[in-house]
Amino acid sequence: MSLLSKFETYDARRRELNRIGINPFGVVQERVLSATEAVINGRETILAGTNNYLGLTFDPDCISAAKIALDEQGTGTTGSRMANGTFAEHLALERDLAEFFGRRAAIVFSTGFLANLGILSTLTGRGDVIVLDADCHASIYDGCQLGGAEVIRFRHNDAGDLAKRLRRLGERAADTLVVVEGIYSMLGDSAPLADIVAVKREFGALLLVDEAHSMGVLSARGLAEAAGVEAGVDFITGTFSKSLGATGGFCVSDLPELDSIRVASRAYVFTASLCPSVVASTRAALECVRKRPHLRAQLWRNARDLYARLQGLGFTLGPEPSPVIAVLQAQPEGALAFWAGLLERGVYVNLVLPPATPAGMSLLRCSVSAAHSENQIAAIAAAFGAVRADLETTSAA
């Protein structure tokens, strides 16, 4: 095997997609029109796969804050936080996050991926144990691998299986980190966090919850707040690229060891810090989450509406209504054709194929926003129905 032969499978798939003229993994938004619309392939398209849960990418307050920061502080920091890359506003954002979550301290990273990578690879190492939900995000798996800890998976959302695996560890369970997510990004289901916290406390482990998709969605702060178990969560990670409409990531904790992680995490020490405009818009977005609960209420109205419409059309969906709505498909080829048909009808969703999906399934992943209008939600559902009818007609011909 040569150094590059590992890419042969990917190259074959890419060539096949090029042959049929479909590229679901390189869609270009030629012109962004709003939080929910863009021009794709020359056609005005409803964006139903952006994770822009509260629609804040075009919020006037966020844009104004970013513009002021650009004028006053320039386009970038040109350095890491440990060098010249710490501006007063970075510290202010960390104070805002710590206050928002009611925690002692916060660390800000340049992306959400880096937050998980940096925290997990530094918090744990060789000789330590991480027990994580099998459906956790790639950034969590990569952080675990980079740190070198022993990784044990438990069955998705199964607190009983978590308890069984911790029990097998014996005394080592007390030095174990348990990792789960608030909302899982593929199927949109939430962790049974109260049960997981009870298990964690029984065995004396530490618990990290990634609230990337649940912050600003299940409550202002996410699942831990919604479930009433914030005191049982030791570390919370998350991102600015979902509900906060920007880029970046963070970790908050009451544990004083978070200060040591700041100086030991390579993903923090050796990465350029966030641009001033991003810091400013993120701080403004946090205020929106605090002061505009109606956005979350509208998000859930839209999510339940689309879930009910798709369910009424007979589609197989994820296990519960959520702003992440997965439409399950039997085969990758069918999912690909369905995705292309939706795009032709002016609706963009995410196509997710194995091995990135749970249990090897293929799915069309919708991401609902508070900014979607009722007419847009209806149009998304109608497009699903129309594409299915088109494909059934083609198959029967």
Catalytic residue at 241? no
Choosing from 139, 190, 200, 242, the catalytic residue is 242
Catalytic residue at 213? yes
Choosing from 185, 243, 362, 369, the catalytic residue is 185
Residue pointed to by tokens 């400013």: 280
Q: Which residues pair with 179 in a beta bridge?
A: 132, 208
Catalytic residue at 294? no
Show the 3-state SS of the chain: CCCCHHHHHHHHHHHHHHHHCCCCCCCCCCEECCCCEEEECCEEEEECECCCCCCHHHCHHHHHHHHHHHHHHCCCCCCECCCCCCCHHHHHHHHHHHHHHCCCEEEEECCHHHHHHHHHHHHCCCCCEEEEECCCCHHHHHHHHHHCCEEEEECCCCHHHHHHHHHHHHHHHHHEEEEEECECCCCCCECCHHHHHHHHHHHCCEEEEECCCCECCCECCCHHHHHCCHHHCCEEEEECCCCCCCCCEEEEECCCHHHHHHHHCHHHHCCECCCHHHHHHHHHHHHHHHHCHHHHHHHHHHHHHHHHHHHHCCCCECCCCCCEEEEEECCHHHHHHHHHHHHHCCEECEEECCCCCHHHCEEEEEECCCCCCHHHHHHHHHHHHHHHHHHHHHHHC
**Alpha-carbon distance 46 to 376, whole Å?**
7
Choosing from 137, 200, 213, 372, the catalytic residue is 213
Give which of 113, 105, 61, 102 is closest to 244, Cα–Cα: 61
Instruction: Show which residues are catalytic.
Output: 185, 213, 242
